[in-house]
Structure 1
Amino acid sequence: MKKTNFSTRAYVMKNGQLMIRVRWNSKKNEVGFSVGYTIDPLKWDGDKQLVKSNTTHKIGGKAVYAREINNAIRSFLVCIEEVFTEYSLHSEIPTTTDLKELVNEKLGRAKQETLVEESEVKTLKGIFKEFLLLRPQEGNWGDKIHEKYDQMWNQLNSCNPSITLESLDRTKMQSLLNWYIKNDYCNRTIVKQFRILKSFLRWASRNGYTIQSGVLEFKPNLKVIPRTVTFLKYKELIHFFHFEFPKEKEYLSKARDMFCFMAFTSLRYSDLAALRSVNIVDGCLDFCTEKTDDKLHIALNEHAQKILDKYSWYKGDTVFPVPSNQKLNDYLKEAAKLAGLDREISQVYFKGNTRYEDTYKFWEQISCHDARRTFVCCSLALGIPASVVMSCTGHSDYESMKPYIEVADETQKMQMEKWNLHQYKSGIIESMEKMNSEQLQQLFEYVKKIA
C-alpha cells in the first residue's frame, strides 16, 4: 500500500474566519474547508489548533460555546482522515474535487453548502440563494445584513417577478428606479438599495456569472441630501448625565447611564452589552469590538468611571445590566423627553424631484448609536485631536469617520471663544500692570471674598 503524506490543520485567517485545510504531496495541492464559525483570535489556541476551552463566542447574535466549535473542527479532521485512508487502500490519492465532495458527503452537507443544483444556478433566484448561503461565511455577516439583502430581493421581485440575470440590463435597472419613485421611496433609500443590489451582482460576477453590460455602472440620477447626524452637544450631555429621574422611573436612570457610558467611551451597543470585568484594566477598556473585531484600548474619563462605580453592585456575567437594544432605545426616548432634550432636528430629503423637510424634537429621534456620535462630536469640540478620537472609535481613516463629524458649528464656537478669552486676559493684565501695590492688594481681597 502506497504511503500518502498529508497533514491537516485548523487556523484563523486575517478576517477571523476559522478554517481547516489539508495539504499533501509537498504542498503541490491544497483544499480548504470553512468550518462556518468566526471567533475572536484571542480565544484561539495556536498550539492545539482548537478554540480555547471554556470560552464563549457570539456568532450571528447567539452564544456559541467552545465545545461546539471544537467538535465541528474534529468532525472535519476525522472525515478528511477517512477519505485519505479509503484511497490509500488502493494506493491512490483523491483529487481535489473528490476530496471536497466526499468530505462534504460524510458531513451530511454534500451540495447543500458547496454546490447549487444546475437548475437553480440558471435562475436569478438560485444565484441569490447561493449568495445568501456562501457570502455570510466570507464576510462575517450579522443578522441585520442578511435582512437588508432579503429586503432588496423582495423589492426587486415586487418590481419584476419574472426578472432573470440575462434580462437584467440598464433598461431594467431604470425600470426598477422608476418603481421605487412611483412607490414613494425616499431618494436616499433608493440609492442605498441600488448599492445593495450591485453588491450582490458584483459577487455573482466574481463567481463566474455574466452580468449584462452597463448594469454595474448604473447610477440613479437622484438628488440626495445627507441625513442630519443627531448627537448631544457637550452641555446637553452633561445635563443628561446629572439629571435626576423620579424614583418610580429608575429604569430611565439606568437607560440614561448606559447611553452616557457609551457617549463617554465611544462604545457601540453590542460592545456595551458584552463588556466584562476582565475588559477593564488599569482605568482603561481593553477589548475586541463585536462588529469589526478591532482591538481597542480606551482610557476611562472621570464620568465613565463614576458610572462604573455606580454599578459595582451588579454581579452578572457582564459589567452592566443592559436591556435589549429595542427596549433601551424606547427608554432613552422617554428619558430624553423627561430631561428636556427637545432641541429641534430638521431632516431634509427628496422623493424624486420633490423636496421635503421634517422637523423633530431630539428626544423623538434619540437612539443608542447617537451616543457614539456624541463621543466623536464632543471630543472634537473639546479640542481632542481627530487621530486620538479615531484610536478610540476604531475608524481606520478620516473618510470612514466623516459621517460622525457634524460638529462644525459647535467646535467653531468653542474654538473661537479663545479669541474672547485672550482679549479678556490681555485687558486684565494690562490693567493690573498700571496698578500700584495698594490697588493690587484691594483687588486680591475682593477676588478672595467673592470666590
Structure 2
Amino acid sequence: MMEISYNCRAFLHKNGQVMIRVRWNNKKREVGFSVGCNADPEKWDNENQRARYNTTHKVGGKVYVARDINNRISQFLECIEESFTEYGVHAQVPTTKELKELVNEKLGRIEEETPEEETEEVHEKTLQNAFFEFMKLRPSENNWGEKTHCKYNQMWDHLNSFDSSISLEKLDKKKLNGLKEWYIANGYHNATTNKHFRNLKGVLKWADSNGYPVKKEVFAYKTNLPVPPKTVTFLKYKELIHFASFQFPVNKEYLDRARDYFCFMAFTSLRYSDLRALKKANVSDEYMELYTQKTKDRIRIPIISHARKILEKYKDNEGVYVFPVPSNQKLNDYLKEAAELAGLDREIVETYFIGTQRYEEIHKFYETISCHDGRRTFVCCSLALGVTPSVVMSCTGHADYESMKPYIEVADETQKMQMEKWNTHQYKSDIIERLEKMTPTQLKEIYEHIRSRA
C-alpha cells in the first residue's frame, strides 16, 4: 500500500462559503470543495477550522447552525480520507479531477462547483506567482480586512521599486541587505522597514511550505535596525474627564458627537471597528457583549456610569446600531478639531530612527489624537485607577500580559496614584493620632461641626 501525503484545511471563502482545500503530491496538486453551506466570519474558529460551538449563522437569507456545518465538514474529510486510502491501496496518486470525482461520488454529488479556479497544471515557481497565489488564498483562509491587503501590496510595490527583476534565485542575504539600504535611502522609519521585512518573510515562508524554491538563508536574515519603544498616546484621567464634559459651540454639533464617540471608546475599550458595528442588541442594562471585528474574540464589558450617560444621549438613534458613526478618517479629523478646541495641547515627543540616525518630533496632543487613543486611554486610566491588569485584559481582549506591558510602562499616573497611598496612609495616621489625644468635649465639637456640614 502506498502512503499518500496530503493535507486538508477548512476555511471560509470571501462570500461566506465553507470550503475545504486539499493538497497532495508535495503540494503540487490541489482541489477545493464547497461544503454546501455558509458561515458567519465572526462565529468561525480559524484555529480549529470549524464553526464556533453552539452558534447560529445567518448568511444570505439562510440560517445554519454550527452542529450541521461541522458535521458537514467532518463528512467531507472522511470521504477525502477514504478516497486517498483507496488510491493508496492501488499504489496510485490521483489527479485533481480523479480525486474530485471520487469524493463527490462518495458524497452522492454529481457535480461540484467551487469559487476557486482549479488546474492540473503546475504553475511556474516564480516569486511573482508565489506572491499572487499567496494573495489569492490567504485572505479567504484568514478573513483579511482591507488594511491587511494594503500592507502586503505596499511591501510588493516596494520590492519591485527596489528591483523590478527580483526573483527567488536572486533573493539572498545580499539582496535583502540591498533592500534594507533602499528603505533607508528613501527615508522610511526603521519601524516601517522592519514591518515590511516581516511581511516579506511571511510570504516567503508560505512559498517555501508550498514547494517554491526559497533560499533558507533569507529566513535567518535580520535588519538589525534600532527601533525605540513606540510612544503610546492617551488621555490622562483628568484630561479625559475634562474632554468628556467640555461644552462645544452650538454650531459645531459634529464635534460634540465626535467627542462622545471617542469618550465612549475610552470608557469601554472598544476599537473604532467595534464602535461602528455596535448594535443595540449587544447592549444590556449592565454589560455589552460582542464579538470583536478585528480578532473575532467574544468580550463582555461592564458599562460604567460615564458610558451609560453617552448611551442615554443616543438612545433615540434610528436603526439597529447604537451610534451613527462616520468614517474612520472623518472621525479622526473631527477629533483633532475637538481636542484643539478643548485645549488638549500637552506635548508628545516622538523618537524614531532612519538607519542609525536618531530623530525627534514634538507634537501637541490634539495634532496626533485618533480613534485608537480611546482604547489606549481606557487601558492606561484603568491601570492608573487601580484596576488589575487581568480585569483590563478581559475587557480589551488582550491575549497575554506581554501585550499589556507597553501600557503599564507608560501609564505614569499609575505610579503616581499608587505611590500617593504612602501620603494617604500618613495623613490618616496623623488624624487618628490627633483624635486619640482629644478630650470627649473636643470630639463632640468636631462631631457637631461635621454634622452641620453634611
Q: TM-score, normalized by length of structure 2?
A: 0.80
| Aligned residue in 2 for 1:223 | 226
Q: CA deviation at 1:121?
A: 3.1
CA distance in 1, matches of 2:446, 2:145: 65
Larger deviation, residues 100-109 vs 263-272:
100-109
CA distance in 1, matches of 2:247, 2:301: 28
Give 5+ residue unaligned stretches, structure 2.
Answer: 1-8, 23-29, 77-92, 105-109
| Correspondent of 2:303 among 270, 281, 300 | 300
Amino acid paired to 2:362: T
CA distance in 1, matches of 2:404, 2:95: 44
Amino acid paired to 1:41: K
CA distance in 2, matches of 1:11, 1:124: 26
| Aligned residue in 1 for 2:418 | 415
CA distance in 2, matches of 1:179, 1:206: 28
Residues 33, 113 of structure 2: 8 Å contact kept: no
User: SS where residue 215 of structure 1 aligns?
Assistant: helix
Q: CA deviation at 1:51?
A: 6.9
CA distance in 1, matches of 2:302, 2:56: 30
Residues 18, 38 of structure 1: 8 Å contact kept: no
Are the structure 2 counterparts of residues 373 and 121 from structure 1 closer, same or farther at C-alpha, using a change threshold of 3 Å?
A: farther
Q: CA deviation at 1:446?
A: 3.5
Amino acid paired to 2:97: D
Q: TM-score, normalized by length of structure 1?
A: 0.80
1:199 aligns with 2:213: no
| Aligned residue in 1 for 2:147 | 144
CA distance in 2, matches of 1:180, 1:216: 19
Residues 194, 223 of structure 2: 8 Å contact kept: yes
CA distance in 1, matches of 2:366, 2:220: 40
1:160 aligns with 2:160: no
| 1:79-111 C-alpha deviation (Å, 9 max, x unpaired) | x9xxxxxxxxxxxxx9572266678996375xx
CA distance in 2, matches of 1:141, 1:327: 23
CA distance in 1, matches of 2:120, 2:188: 34
- Alpha-carbon RMSD across the aligned residues, in angstroms, is 3.5
1:234 aligns with 2:237: yes
CA distance in 2, matches of 1:151, 1:366: 25
Aligned 1:161-200 pairs, distance under 5 A: 161-200=164-203
| Aligned residue in 2 for 1:40 | 42
CA distance in 2, matches of 1:441, 1:223: 67
Aligned 1:36-435 pairs, distance under 5 A: 39-41=41-43, 52=57, 55=58, 65-67=60-62, 97-98=96-97, 107=113, 113-115=117-119, 118=122, 121-435=124-438
Residues 18, 39 of structure 1: 8 Å contact kept: no
| Aligned residue in 2 for 1:90 | none
Residues 234, 374 of structure 2: 8 Å contact kept: yes
Residues 243, 339 of structure 1: 8 Å contact kept: yes
Q: CA deviation at 1:222?
A: 1.2
| 1:189-237 C-alpha deviation (Å, 9 max, x unpaired) | 1111111111111111111212113101101021110210101111111
Amino acid paired to 2:219: L
CA distance in 2, matches of 1:162, 1:445: 89
Q: CA deviation at 1:66?
A: 3.9
Residues 279, 320 of structure 2: 8 Å contact kept: yes
Residues 31, 118 of structure 2: 8 Å contact kept: no
Give 5+ residue unaligned stretches, structure 1.
Answer: 1-9, 24-29, 57-64, 81-93
Q: CA deviation at 1:37?
A: 6.6
Residues 262, 272 of structure 1: 8 Å contact kept: yes
Aligned residue pairs total 401
User: SS where residue 323 of structure 2 aligns?
Assistant: coil
Q: CA deviation at 1:188?
A: 1.2
